Amino acid sequence: MKTSFQQCILGADHAGVTLKLQCAQMLIAEGMPIEDVGSFDTTSVDYPDIAQQAVDLMAQSAGSAGILCCGSGIGMSMAANRSRSIRAALCHNAEFARLARAHNDANVLVLPARFLTAEEGLVIVRTFLTTSFEGGRHAKRIEKLHQLGG
């Protein structure tokens, strides 16, 4: 898999753990280095804790992509996007993933595990990781995102 990311940081709550593990297997088979911050089983956990661990690790690892999974994807998206350096995109299909990378330079993919099959999720991951940011007219918008907030 040809990607501009050097590694993937993976995380999931109890509802997303199965999809996360399937993503990890695919990435390992493709030779992509991964770091998995949990969860590792279906015991109930709080998604903000997992998202925080993932974005903290991303801050220490330049060139990393994040892949977060939870039931709807909404909670993980909200939690991850609290960090200024994160542009997390909740993607329900490959076209969302392509646009999130090409137009928004998203560095975290969030998957709604309860609404995707494993096959759909893996296609979305592959699309996200292999799509490059187009820059150009989109670059000034990304800069404006960095200026938002306090």
pLDDT of residue 144: 87
The mean predicted confidence, pLDDT, of the chain is 95
Delimit the domains of the chain by residue range.
7-147
**pTM here?**
0.96
The per-residue pLDDT for range 7-24, each reduced to its tens digit, is 999 999 999 999 999 999
| CB-based contact 106:124 (threshold 8 Å) | no
User: Checking phi first, is residue 139 left (phi over 0); if not, alpha (psi -120 to 50) or beta?
Assistant: alpha
Query: Are the C-beta atoms of residues 54 and 10 closer than 8 Å to each other?
Result: yes
Q: Which CATH superfamily is domain 7-147 in?
A: Sugar-phosphate isomerase, RpiB/LacA/LacB (3.40.1400.10)
**The pLDDT of residue 9:** 98
The arithmetic mean of pLDDT across residues 55-70, rounded, is 96
Catalytic residues: 103
Q: What is the mean pLDDT of residues 84-106?
A: 97
User: Buried (b) or exposed (e) across 36-55, using 16+ Cβ within 10 A?
Assistant: bbbbeeeeebebeebbbebb
Whether residue 150 is predicted with pLDDT greater than 60 in this model: the reply is no
Residue 130 vs residue 141, higher pLDDT: 130
